[in-house]
Structure 1
């Protein structure tokens, strides 16, 4: 998707205005045969239309008719550690920002750095996601949508979020555990297998696959870019019509 830059828009506006003024001057000259009158007419038209455009825009800023509010939504990416949630979530966030949607990115790593004492037991994870749900609700009250990526391995954890936030979209980032191990640049799977990490999803703790995911993406089959595009199409169809 290509985005119109401010400088390009300014140049387009200037060239359009110059072309319009020159056309007016040419028409006046052809009708009356006076170059000075054509010049002054073009000059007057330029300033009057700039003022008219400014006034027109100010009036339309006050008119609410025809505006459509985008309801805040939450894209919840879930899956095994190292399945690609964060990578896909970052791409989705970048692409949605290009649409000028009020948006925030929430990743489990960032939240855990803010609250480092959170445990990894089933109860601790559920309590943690309850806090995350409150954060998303606060953002949604301010009309801000969110892209969140959390392992969230339990069905009840995901239900907590679904019951708390508006327009929750569950995206299951599916990947074979052997693929996740190959992507393990942090060596967390290796440490979990050795017993350094307890309650590690996929090794010493379960991952309950979502029963009712809105989107299922197999990162063994599609690239992160393709996955992001698929999610963007879903959001556009459902929330940005």
Structure 2
């Protein structure tokens, strides 16, 4: 989170006093008809009230009353490969950043690049999800929320994530497998069907649909923009009020 520095408070005080002092000078001149008296009153008022404003501002920084802490949340996007998870998650992340909250973006490809050699068996995937859970938990301990997109095909690994992190919001990007195949610009579905790729979710390995997703986005019915609006609205209502 952010807090005002002393310099920022001082500059805010000065900018406000420029407007306020001008008003004082005009009022004094109207009542007394003396420009020298009006300017003197304005200068004295400015010096006094800039100092008072600074003291008042710094005092309120120390007062906790009326403040509400934004609890960190984890938006967990899950779905078949090429279901649209990353695209929607990127769009949601971009919109949430506008709220000026501490936020990080985690995507399966980026994480696998950082942790090479991670396999795709059920055991490998579950172990990998535990690593991601610990990463998210560490970020949350520092008040950082996360937008994460992972196929995460198994219910036990998604359950582990839910148990490890706070305020977990599962977004199931529900897409027909034929639609995913049509988006197969990398040819991964063809490789999985031919047997070249093993443990490929939806083809030669299972994808277990979430049973308790907070948000379900059917990409055959909603655009990226519509999905983004729905998810951001949910987060604002639950965590950034």
- Between stretches 33-42 and 145-154, larger displacement belongs to 33-42
Equivalent residue of 1:75, what SS?
Answer: strand
Structure 1 residues 133-192: Cα deviation after superposition (integer angstroms, max 9, x where no partner): 111111111221111110011111111111111111111011111211222222222222
Contact 2:72 2:140 in 1 (8 A): yes
In the alignment, the residues of structure 1 paired with residue 140 and residue 15 of structure 2 have an alpha-carbon distance, to the nearest angstrom, of 41
Q: How does 1:77-96 map to 2 (within 5 A)?
A: 77-96=77-96
Matched, 1:149 2:126: no
Partner of 1:47: 47
CA distance in 1: counterparts of 2:218 and 2:198, whole angstroms: 27
In structure 1, what is the Cα distance between the partners aligned to 2:92 and 2:53?
36
TM superposition shift of 1:18: 3.8
> Which residue in the other structure is 2:174 paired with?
174
What residue in structure 1 maps to residue 235 of structure 2?
Answer: 235
Q: What is the DSSP-based 3-state SS (H/G/I as helix, E as strand, rest coil) of the residue aligned with 1:185?
A: coil
Q: How does 1:147-226 map to 2 (within 5 A)?
A: 147-226=147-226
> SS of the residue aligned with 1:38?
helix
Q: Determine the structure 2 residue equivalent to 1:137.
A: 137
Q: TM-score, structure 2 length as denominator?
A: 0.89
> Residue deviations 1:6-38, cap 9 Å, x none?
xxxxx9988764443222111101111101111
CA contact (8 A) 2:118 2:124 kept: yes
What secondary structure sits across from 2:208 in the alignment?
coil
- Unmatched runs of 5 consecutive residues or more in structure 1: 1-10
Match of 2:4 in 1: none
- For the aligned residue pairs, the C-alpha RMSD in angstroms reads 1.9
* Residue in structure 2 matched with residue 103 of structure 1 by the alignment: 103
**Aligned partner of residue 117 in structure 1, secondary structure:** coil
Do the aligned residues in 1 keep the contact of 2:139 with 2:145 (CA within 8 Å)?
yes
Aligned pair count reads 231
Change (3 A) 1:214 1:49: same
Aligned to 1:6: none
